[in-house]
């Protein structure tokens, strides 16, 4: 289905791998448990990161929410269907196709980008020695 000629269309791709089909050709006895365990471990790590955030870190909290939501969305697809459904297809003419992706992938990418930018942009408080050491 062509939505915007030579730029965007909706498609249907069964992605048994990770981003851009990474590990899609791997042995299912490795691939299936890997893609079920990794998101769960990631959710636990994200939970600890969220728990330790100061209340002023609203951008980081939003970013962790986006990454978590994307991971949960893809995990639901994998548990329910055995693969992730990718449907957003961007391309240039008929010569360059960006790999198909879904909304969960977009949330993960935006969340990771916000986390990286907030890490770079965040002002670091100077480390002060305790008063007893300064005197």
The catalytic residue among 6, 77, 89, 105 is: 105
The catalytic residue among 6, 52, 77, 86 is: 86
Give the separation between CA 107 and CA 98, rounded to whole angstroms: 17
Residue 106 parent element (H or E): helix 103-121
Q: What is the pTM of this model?
A: 0.80
Q: What is the pLDDT of residues 47-90, one digit of tens each?
A: 999 999 998 889 999 999 999 999 999 999 999 999 999 999 99
Q: What is the pLDDT of residues 11-42, one digit of tens each?
A: 999 999 887 677 888 888 888 888 889 999 99
Query: Stretch 102-127: mean pLDDT, rounded?
Result: 87
Task: Give yes or no: 6 in active site.
Answer: no
Write the CB contacts of 25 (distance below 8 Å, at least 6 apart in sequence).
17
Query: Stretch 8-12: mean pLDDT, rounded?
Result: 92
Locate the domains of the chain by residue range.
2-122
Bridge-partner residues for 14, per DSSP? 85
Phi-psi region of 82 (alpha: psi -120 to 50; beta: other; left: phi over 0): left
Task: Give yes or no: 77 in active site.
Answer: no
Q: Comparing C-alpha atoms, which of 71, 34, 30, 32 is closest to residue 50? A: 71
Q: Sign of the C-alpha dihedral, residues 77, 81, 83, 85?
A: negative
């Amino acid at each position: 289905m062509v939505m915007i000629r030579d730029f965007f269309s909706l498609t249907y791709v069964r992605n048994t791998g990770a981003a851009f089909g990474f590990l899609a050709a791997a042995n299912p006895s490795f691939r299936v448990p890997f893609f079920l365990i990794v998101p769960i471990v990631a959710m636990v790590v994200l939970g600890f990161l969220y728990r330790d955030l100061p209340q002023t870190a609203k951008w980081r909290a939003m970013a962790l929410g986006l990454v978590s939501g994307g991971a949960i969305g893809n995990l639901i697809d994998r548990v329910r269907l055995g693969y992730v459904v990718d449907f957003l297809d961007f391309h240039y003419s008929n010569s360059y196709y960006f790999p198909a992706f879904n909304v969960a992938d977009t949330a993960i990418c935006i969340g990771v980008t916000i986390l990286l930018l907030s890490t770079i942009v965040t002002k670091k408080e100077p480390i002060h020695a305790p008063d007893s050491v300064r005197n």
